[in-house]
Amino acid sequence: MTRERERPSDRRRARPALRLIALAGLALLAQAALGAAEAASRIKDLVDFEGIRENQLVGYGLVVGLNGTGDGLRNSPFTRQSLQAMLERLGINTRDADLRTANVAAVMVTSNLPPFSTQGTRIDVTVSALGDASSLQGGTLLVTPLHGADGEVYAVAQGSLAIAGFRVEGEAASITRGVPTVGRISNGAIIEREIKFDLAKQRSLRLALRNPDFTTAKRIAIAINAFTGTSSARPVDPATVQLDLPQSYKGHIVKLLMEVEQLRVEPDQTAKVVIDESTGIIVMGRGVRVSTVAIAQGNLTVTVTETPQVSQPAPFSENAETVVVPRTRVTADDEADNKLAVIREGVSLRELVDGLNALGIGPRDMIAILQAIKAAGALQAEIEVM
The overall average pLDDT reported for the chain is: 80
pLDDT in tens, 215-256: 999 999 999 999 999 999 999 999 999 999 998 888 888 889
The residue among 125 and 30 whose pLDDT is bigger is 125
Question: Coil, strand, or helix at residue 40?
Answer: coil
pLDDT value of position 94? 80
pLDDT in tens, 278-336: 777 888 777 777 777 676 666 544 455 657 777 777 776 677 777 777 776 656 555 55
Q: What is the residue type of 195?
A: I
Contacts with 383 (C-beta within 8 Å, 6 or more apart), sequence order? 272, 273, 275, 370, 371, 374
CB of 234 within 8 A of CB of 219? no
pTM over 0.95: no
CB of 66 within 8 A of CB of 136? yes
CB of 299 within 8 A of CB of 336? no
Residue 14: pLDDT above 70? Answer: no
Q: How far apart are CA 307 and CA 327, in angstroms?
A: 5
In this prediction, residue 200 has a pLDDT band, given cuts at 50, 70 and 90, of confident
Distances (CA, A) of 5 to 2, 14, 17: 9, 15, 20
In 12-129, DSSP assigns E strands to 41-42, 47-49, 55-64, 104-113, 122-129
pLDDT in tens, 169-192: 676 677 777 788 999 999 999 999
